[in-house]
Amino acid sequence: MKISKSKDQSRVIIEHVSPQLSGGKHPISRVVNEEVHVTADVFGDGHDVVQAALLYQNKNAKKWQEVRMQPTVNDSWEASFTVQKQGVYAYKVIGWVDHALNWQDGLQRKLEDGQYVYSELQDGAQYATAIKKSAKGVAKELMQQAEEAFIDETRYDEAVEIGKSEQLQTLFTVHPQRNTITESDTFSIYVDRPKARFSTWYEFFPRSASEKPNKHGTFKDCERLIPRVANMGFDVLYFPPIHPIGEVNRKGKNNATEAEKGDTGSPWGIGSHLGGHTAIHPELGDLSDFHSLIKTAEKHGIEIAMDFALQAAPDHPWVKSNPEWFKWKPDGTVQYAENPPKKYQDILPIHFESNKWKPLWDELLSTALYWVDQGIKIFRVDNPHTKPFLFWGWLIQEVKKKNPEVLFLSEAFTKPKVMQQLGKQGFTQSYTYFTWRNNKHELQEYMHELTQTDMKEYFRPNFWPNTPDINPWELQTKHESIYLFRHFLAATLSSNYGLYGPVYEFMDADAVPGKEEYLNSEKYEYKHWDWDKETKISHLITKINAIRKRERALQQTNNIVFLETENDNLIAYLKWDQARENYIVCVVNLDPYYRQQGQIHLGRDLLQTEEHQQLQLTDLITGNTYDWTSYKNFVELGPELPYHLFRVTW
């Protein structure tokens, strides 16, 4: 074993630095101004005083910032810092035997035991000498005094006073004397802009945006709808792919294998003789229309999210220009997408195992960067779990190098570990199982997994009650109360949520029999909507989105505790912001048919206030106020307005 002095002589062990993912292989996620609370086990041999510090820096900074850690229990230490810039941060923990503090600690014990400590004081002079060099002003003078008094037996009493003083302890702490240091591994953080954590999505098909029936919608039509979306309180507007739709093997209405004349096909069948992933479907408009739309949206506080769907129609330009990016069978035909026995003849998967993978990766990156240049800062990535994880890790990192503000939403409805891995590879947000979590137990269990396990460090959920691909059984009932509370749950459990509209607010949920799919889905045809129509659902969406913008407790997901309600039909939860200045209690009646009563248990410890503190609860939807004087509080909710959204004050 090679012995290098500094490292092998270190006497401190650092273990279990938390948070960290896979020993630091992946960064944890934060947004600007979010706190990073770090714990670690730090201990030394023997009885000497050990100290620890947390070091952190923005990747572009030259120096590490240092925060002293504090011991908690059983050799565990903690400290926090706040990340203030977008981009990559690093952090690590250091520990050392602090000889100066150790000397003072021993001195004090001996003094308490009545021992004569002149020999110890002499020994302590070295620390005064060391600190004198870097200290200034009063501190420097005190060190000068200590240096002299400690070695002068005639000044014993004075020396003892200095030796045991708090002042000296402070100086020892501010000017640590470190002979050897133990350093943990270095871990990293990716810091996003705040929208990564707090965003409100709306999705519609631009081709259904026309004012007139039987007319293909355009970007101009969409632009006209921007105020509607903004008024409802959404700040991200996501469109299915806007590229030319393949004409070969195009799907017909209701996913028919053969399209009829006039069928518009699926927007996810990307590419034709009119262009590929960097082109715009001509019926929607042109690039300048798209620019204009982005600009108008921006004026209304809305960002356009683009669908990044890496697959090709059989007539996509890539198939001819780069046949090596697709898989060809021995019979000379190209491999279309399949999940045997299912076949998707209108789509060719990209062959990532191609020998020409490097130019492929570069092309896909340049596609993303092209749209970033057009003003797109949010990508909703279609089926990322059917492309290699490492490709995503690379692409996202490359995009963010010059564009740290770009966000990626992972549309992976698949196995838990696969979805988690995409978060680790850099996806900013992810679709979730919320769509299928209905009863109280399921919801609480899932929220626990998202917010109380290490998923909270890298996996930001985005809750969608519906999507064009999923028309859940519960919503197929077209029961208004369900639409109200499913939206409410999405919007208050998770700070990121989205709706596929206007089918949601219009309860337009006819289904393919026996399937969680929309009948006459917009995926295969355009529709005509009465965009001016208002419903109770749209009214409450608007109201709740407005509340989300005011209440900081709803702008984050992880600070949540579920409250006992004494009734399985009532789910209740408390949320709070990082500063603990805003407390929200939500109560939801999950029974769409009957009124439900319960007792909400709200321990005052959760509010960090006194045991018998009287609380005022203001329902931000109705404006009603309630005094909660005890630990248990009666609540009754009916299907017509199945929730309370309380701000808690005292």
Q: How far is the CB of 147 from a copy of itself (least distance, A)?
A: 12
Q: Which of 80, 173, 179, 520 touches a copy of itself by CB under 8 A?
A: 179
Among the listed ranges 104-112, 155-163, 495-503, 543-551, the one in contact with a copy of itself (CB under 8 A) is 104-112
User: How far apart are the C-alpha atoms of 598 and 629, rounded to whole Å?
Assistant: 16
33-53 per-residue burial string, b: 16 or more CB within 10 A, e: under 16:
ebebebbbbbbbeeebbbbbb
User: How far apart are the C-alpha atoms of 384 and 310, rounded to whole Å?
Assistant: 8
C-alpha dihedral, 567 to 571 to 577 to 583, nearest 10°:
-50
If one asks whether residue 183 binds a copy of itself (CB under 8 A), the answer comes out as no
User: How far apart are the C-alpha atoms of 105 and 128, rounded to whole Å?
Assistant: 15
Nearer to a copy of itself, 49 or 274 (CB): 49
Q: Which residue has the tokens 């070969």?
A: 248
Q: How far is the CB of 66 from a copy of itself (least distance, A)?
A: 23
Q: How far is the CB of 101 from a copy of itself (least distance, A)?
A: 13
Q: Which of 68, 390, 530, 613 touches a copy of itself by CB under 8 A?
A: 390
Phi–psi pair at 371, nearest 5 degrees? -75, -30
Q: Are 464 and 435 in contact (CB under 8 A)?
A: yes
Nearer to a copy of itself, 13 or 279 (CB): 13
Q: Which of 412, 408, 382 is nearest to 266 (CA)?
A: 382
Q: Which of 635, 638, 542 is nearest to 590 (CA)?
A: 638
Nearer to a copy of itself, 68 or 109 (CB): 109
If one asks whether residue 112 binds a copy of itself (CB under 8 A), the answer comes out as yes
Q: How far is the CB of 522 from a copy of itself (least distance, A)?
A: 26
Nearer to a copy of itself, 247 or 454 (CB): 454
Nearer to a copy of itself, 105 or 247 (CB): 105
If one asks whether residue 154 binds a copy of itself (CB under 8 A), the answer comes out as no
Q: Are 138 and 174 in contact (CB under 8 A)?
A: no
User: How far apart are the C-alpha atoms of 52 and 37, rounded to whole Å?
Assistant: 14
Active-site residue flag, 289: no
Q: Are 587 and 518 in contact (CB under 8 A)?
A: no
Q: Is 5 helix (H, G, I), strand (E, B) or coil?
A: helix
Q: Which residue has the tokens 């501010």?
A: 174
If one asks whether residue 402 binds a copy of itself (CB under 8 A), the answer comes out as no
Q: Which of 11, 164, 224, 479 touches a copy of itself by CB under 8 A?
A: 11
Q: How far is the CB of 34 from a copy of itself (least distance, A)?
A: 25
Q: Which of 98, 382, 505, 525 is catalytic?
A: 382
If one asks whether residue 433 binds a copy of itself (CB under 8 A), the answer comes out as no
Nearer to a copy of itself, 2 or 612 (CB): 2
If one asks whether residue 9 binds a copy of itself (CB under 8 A), the answer comes out as yes
Nearer to a copy of itself, 43 or 436 (CB): 43
Residue type, 4: S
Residues in the chain: 650
User: How far apart are the C-alpha atoms of 379 and 238, rounded to whole Å?
Assistant: 9
Q: Which residue has the tokens 């891995």?
A: 421
Q: Which of 411, 457, 474, 522 is catalytic?
A: 411
Provide the 8-state DSSP code for 334: B
Q: Are 131 and 143 in contact (CB under 8 A)?
A: yes
Q: Are 309 and 412 in contact (CB under 8 A)?
A: no
Restricting to residues 28-47, name those near a copy of itself by CB under 8 A.
41, 43, 45-47
If one asks whether residue 106 binds a copy of itself (CB under 8 A), the answer comes out as yes
- Are β-strands 342-344 and 87-97 bridged in parallel, bridged antiparallel, or unpaired? unpaired
Instruction: Kindly give the interhelix angle for 416-424 and 389-402, rounded to the nearest 10 degrees.
Output: 30
User: How far apart are the C-alpha atoms of 340 and 119, rounded to whole Å?
Assistant: 84
Q: Which residue has the tokens 């949520």?
A: 497
Q: Which of 122, 322, 374, 444 touches a copy of itself by CB under 8 A?
A: 122
If one asks whether residue 445 binds a copy of itself (CB under 8 A), the answer comes out as no
Active-site residue flag, 398: no
Among the listed ranges 381-389, 468-476, 579-587, 588-596, the one in contact with a copy of itself (CB under 8 A) is 381-389
Instruction: Kindly give the interhelix angle for 536-550 and 480-493, rounded to the nearest 10 degrees.
Output: 10
If one asks whether residue 119 binds a copy of itself (CB under 8 A), the answer comes out as yes
What is the x/- site pattern for a copy of itself, positions 299-338, by CB under 8 A?
A: ------------------------------xxx-x----x
Q: Which of 32, 130, 151, 511 touches a copy of itself by CB under 8 A?
A: 151
Nearer to a copy of itself, 72 or 616 (CB): 72
Restricting to residues 346-365, name those near a copy of itself by CB under 8 A.
352-353, 357-358, 361
Q: Are 551 and 586 in contact (CB under 8 A)?
A: no
What residues act catalytically? 382, 411
Q: Which residues bind a copy of itself (CB under 8 A)?
A: 1, 3, 5, 8-11, 13, 15, 22-23, 41, 43, 45-47, 74-75, 105-107, 109-110, 112-113, 115, 119, 122-123, 125-126, 151, 179-180, 329-331, 333, 338-341, 352-353, 357-358, 361, 385-390, 394, 397-398, 415-418, 421
